[in-house]
Amino acid sequence: MAPKTTTAAPAIKKAAAAKKAALKGTAAKVTRKVRTNTTFRIPKTLRLARTPKYPRRSVPRTPTLDAHAIIKFPLNTESAMKKIEEDNTLVFITDVRANKRQIKDAVQRLYDVSAVKVNTLIRPDGAKKAYVKLDADVEALEVANRIGFI
């Protein structure tokens, strides 16, 4: 009977394990994680990007403050003319919401001139005045003639 017991032993073991699994379930032994730090940090989980089934807006909005809206018109007051002749700067009335960088880009786009620096102030009547200093290789007077407000 020796061969029978040696072959029967693993089969008995397997049957016993199956019986235990059926009666008690397979998650009976709970292993607790060893925590070596007192702080609990939020575990990193999977973060999916959005894949909307439809765009909420049919078309994305186009910016309303484009180059044409930023620069309203140039000033040709006496002090502005002085700036043109002496400092190589043009003086514009711009939209109040425009910042210096936007004004610089707008001037570049509309009149094809590069500005060295832009100084702005808000007039007492609420409009924004921009002093746009042009690059040394461009003459402000010539640009002013080209724009047409001399």
Binding site for another protein (CB under 8 A): 53-59, 68, 71-77, 93, 110, 147-149
- Minimum CB–partner distance for residue 149 and another protein (Å): 5
- Minimum CB–partner distance for residue 64 and another protein (Å): 11
Q: Judge whether 134 and 90 are in contact, CB under 8 Å.
A: yes
The smaller minimum CB distance to another protein, of residues 20 and 146, is found at 146
Contacts of 73 (CB under 8 A, 6+ apart): 92, 93, 149
- Minimum CB–partner distance for residue 83 and another protein (Å): 15
The smaller minimum CB distance to another protein, of residues 7 and 77, is found at 77
57, 44, 95, 93: which is closest to 73 by C-alpha?
93
The smaller minimum CB distance to another protein, of residues 40 and 54, is found at 54
Determine if residue 148 is left, alpha or beta; phi over 0 gives left, psi from -120 to 50 gives alpha, anything else beta.
Answer: left
